[in-house]
Structure 1
Amino acid sequence: MYALNEETRALTDLVRRLVQEHQMPLEARVLRGETLARRDYASGTQAARAVGLWGLTAPPEFGGAGLSLVDRMAITEENFRCLTPLRFGGSALGPLYALQGEQRARYLDPILEGRLNYCFAQTEPGGGGDPAGAILTHARETDRGWVINGAKIWISSFQEADVVFVVARTDKNKGAGGISMFAVAKDNPGLHAREVPMLGGFKTHQLTFSDCEVDALALIGGEGQGFKGAQQALSAARFDVAARALGVAQRAYEMMVEHAKQRVAFGGPLSEKQAVQSKIVDSWIEIQQNRLMLFHCAAQDDAGQDTRVQAGMLKMLCTEMVDRVVDRAIQIHGAAGCTYESPLAHWYDHQRMARIYEGPTDVHKYRVIARHLLA
C-alpha cells in the first residue's frame, strides 16, 4: 500500500468529512431516483472553498492552492468514492495562465473567481482517438478576428458552460502545429448545440460552428499553439480519470466485503464461500497494484519528469480494473447490485464510458505505449 505523507493524509481526511456532510445526502437522493441540478452541489463547493480547497491546480500566484499531483490524486480518489462527488472550482486550462491584459480579464480571472464556467471541445464526429489527424474544424482569419466552421461531439459540461474552448485548424499544411485554440461564448449565434444522451444518465453535446465569428482576443496562446495546450490538458485529465476509477473501485470493494460478511446463504455467510473470497482478494490486489502505480507516477510528475506515457498507461489500467471490481461487487450482491437504488448499478454504467473518453484503451495501448516502447 502506498504511504501518503501526513499533509496529504490530512487533505484526504478533510475531503472525506466534506463528502460525508454535503455529498452523501445527494447520493441518497440520486438513489431514490431524483435528478440533481447544479445548485444542489453549491453547498459542498462553498464549504470546500471556505477551507481552502479552491483552484486545486491553479498556481498560488493566481490565488490557487497549487497542490502537487500526488495531493490532487489523493483528493480525487477520496472524492470519487461518492456517487455525487464534490465539485471544485477556481482552476483553468493550462494555456490560460499565460494570458495578459484584456484577455486575462475576459477569461482567466472570472474562471478563477468562479464567475465563468467553461468546457473544452476537441473531439470531432470523424474520430477522437487521433485528435491531430481528425481535426477538420477550421478557423479563418478576418479583419475583425476569426471565423470558425466545423463540428465537435461528445462534449461534456457544455450545459453548464458559459464559454467553449475549441481547437481548430488554422493552417492545413502544418499538422499538429497548424492547430489553434479559440474561446467561443456559448451564446454566439454561430454556435449550435444538440444534446446527446449517454450511458448512466450523462448528457454530452454535439456542437456545430457555422460561420462562427469571434474577435482577435478569442485566440488563446497564439496561432499554432492549440494542440500543445490541448495535450497538456489531456495528460492531466488522464491522471484524474485513473484516480476517479480508484475511488470507485475502493468503495465497491468495501461494499462487497461488508455484504459478504452480512449476507447468509446456504448455511453460512457469503464471506466463507471460496468463490466470494476469490473475488474480494482479486479486487483488493488489483486496487493496491494500481494505487501504487498511480502515486509513484504522480510523484515522478511532481519531480519534473515527463509522464505523458505513464498517464496513458494509468488511464488504461485503472479504467479496465474498475470495470472488473464493480462487476465482482454486483455479482456478490446479486439482484441488489443490479438496481439503481445501489450505487453499483450507476457505476456499472459510468465506468464503461471511462474506458473510452480521454483516449480509448486500444489507442493508449497500441498508439501511445507501443509507439513509445518501439521508438
Structure 2
Amino acid sequence: MYEFNEETRALVDLVRRIVKDYQMPLEARLLRGEKLTLADYRPGREAARKAGLWGLPVPAEFGGANLSLVDRLAVIEENRKCLTPIRFGGEIIPSLFNLKGEQKARYLDPFLSDSTETCFALTEPGGGSDPARSIATHAKQDGDGWVINGSKIWISEFDNADRVFVFARIGREKAANNISMFAVEKGNPGLIARPLPMLGYTHGTHQLIFEDCRVDNLAHIGAEGGGFKGAQKTLNLGRYDIAAVALGIAQRCYDMMVEHAKQRVLFGGALSEKQSIQAMIVDSWIEIQQNRLMMYTCAEKDDRGEDTRIEASMMKITCTEMVGRVIDRAIQIHGAAGCTYESPLAHWYDNQRMARIYEGPSEALKHRVLARQLLA
C-alpha cells in the first residue's frame, strides 16, 4: 500500500473538507435531477482558490499552487470521489507560460485571473490516435494574420469555453514538426460548432468546423511548427490525471459497496456474509491498492525529473480498465438501486467507459507507446 507523507495527507484532508462542504450538496442536487450551472460550482471553486488550491500545476510565480505531481494526483483523486468535482482553475497548456507582452496579456493573464475558460482542440474526424500524421486542419499565413480551415471532433468543455486552442498544420508534409497552435475566440465568425452528445458527458462534446477562420498574428502561439510538442506535454500530464480520476471514483465505489453489503439483508443474513460478495469486495480493494501504489511510485519518478511517458501511458491503461471492473461490481452488489441515475454508480458507469478511449485508446497506447519502447 502507498502511504502519503504528512504534508500530502494534510492537503488531502483540506480537499476532503471542501468537497464535503461545497460539492457533495451539489451531487445530491444532481442526483435529484436538477440542472447545475457554472454559478453553482463557483462557491466551491472560490473556497479552493482561497485555500491555495488553484492552478494545481501552475508555477508559483504565476500565482498557481505549483504542486508536485504526487500532490496534484492526490488532490485529483480525493476530488473525484464526488460526482460534482471542483475544477481547480481548469487546465492550462504549458507553452502559455512562455508568452510575453501583448500575447501574455491576451492569453495567459485572463486564465491566471480566473476570468476566462478555454478548451483544447486536437482530435480530427480522420483519426485521433495518431494526431501527428492525421491532422488535416490547415493554417495559412495571409497578410497580418492566419486563415484556418478544417475540422475538429469530440471536443469537450466547448460549452463553457471563451476560446479554443486549436492545432493546425502549417505545411503540407504530415509530420509533427509542422503543426502550430492557434487561439480562436468563441465568437469568431469562421468557427462553427455542432453539438455531439456523448455517453457520460454532462455537457456533451462538439465538432468544430473552421471555414476561412481568420485570426491575427498574436493568435499564433509559440514557434512555428512547435505546437505538437506542447500538446504532447499536455497529453502526458492528462494521462496521469485520468488515472487519478479513475482511482478516486473506484475508491468511492468501493466504499459504497462495503457500506451497502453490510447494511443489506438478504436470505436471512447480510450481503457481506456471502462468499461471492466478499470476493468482489476483496478483488476491488486489491486492484485499487495495486494501481495506487504504481501510480504514485511513477509520479515520484516524474517529480525527480525522470522521463515517465511510458509510465503515464501504462497508468492510463491500467487505471481506466480497473475502474470499469470496480464500478461493475459495485452496481452488481447494489442491484437495481445501482442502475438508477439517482445513484452516482450509474453516472460513473456511463462516464468511465469513455476513459478507455480519450487521451489515447488503450490499444493505441499499447501499440504506439509501450510496444514501440519494449521492442526497440
CA deviations 1:193-213 (Å, max 9, x no partner) are 011101124310000000000
Measured in 2, the distance between the counterparts of 1:142 and 1:222 equals 17
User: Residue 246 of structure 1 aligns with which residue?
Assistant: 247
Amino acid at match of 2:347: H
CA deviations 1:64-94 (Å, max 9, x no partner) are 1110000000000000000001121175210
> Between Structure 1 and Structure 2, how many residues are aligned?
375
User: Residue 363 of structure 2 aligns with which residue?
Assistant: 362
Write the mapping of 1:3-82 to structure 2, written as runs, cut at 5 A: 3-82=3-82
Deviation at 1:62, TM superposition (A): 1.0
Amino acid at match of 1:286: E
**1:276 corresponds to 2:282:** no
Measured in 1, the distance between the counterparts of 2:347 and 2:12 equals 24
Write the mapping of 1:69-218 to structure 2, written as runs, cut at 5 A: 69-89=69-89, 92-173=92-173, 175-202=175-202, 203-218=204-219
Measured in 2, the distance between the counterparts of 1:112 and 1:227 equals 23
Of the structure 1 ranges 165-174 and 280-289, higher mean CA displacement relative to structure 2 is found in 165-174
Of the structure 1 ranges 257-266 and 194-203, higher mean CA displacement relative to structure 2 is found in 194-203
User: Residue 307 of structure 2 aligns with which residue?
Assistant: 306
| Identical residues among aligned pairs (%) | 67
Amino acid at match of 2:292: R
**1:261 corresponds to 2:262:** yes
Measured in 2, the distance between the counterparts of 1:163 and 1:308 equals 28
User: Residue 230 of structure 2 aligns with which residue?
Assistant: 229
Measured in 1, the distance between the counterparts of 2:186 and 2:174 equals 29
User: Residue 324 of structure 2 aligns with which residue?
Assistant: 323
Is contact 2:90-2:117 (8 Å) kept? no
Amino acid at match of 1:358: E
Is contact 2:110-2:116 (8 Å) kept? yes
Rate the CA distance shift 1:365–1:90 in 2: closer, same or farther, 3 A: closer
RMSD: 0.9
Unpaired segments ≥5 residues, structure 2: none
Unpaired segments ≥5 residues, structure 1: none
Is contact 2:339-2:345 (8 Å) kept? yes
Partner SS, residue 153 of structure 1: strand
- Over 3 Å off, 4+ runs: none
Measured in 1, the distance between the counterparts of 2:287 and 2:273 equals 21
Measured in 1, the distance between the counterparts of 2:197 and 2:144 equals 36
Of the structure 1 ranges 324-333 and 195-204, higher mean CA displacement relative to structure 2 is found in 195-204
Measured in 2, the distance between the counterparts of 1:204 and 1:37 equals 17
Is contact 2:89-2:114 (8 Å) kept? yes
Is contact 2:153-2:207 (8 Å) kept? yes
Partner SS, residue 253 of structure 1: helix
Amino acid at match of 2:261: A
Of the structure 1 ranges 171-180 and 189-198, higher mean CA displacement relative to structure 2 is found in 171-180
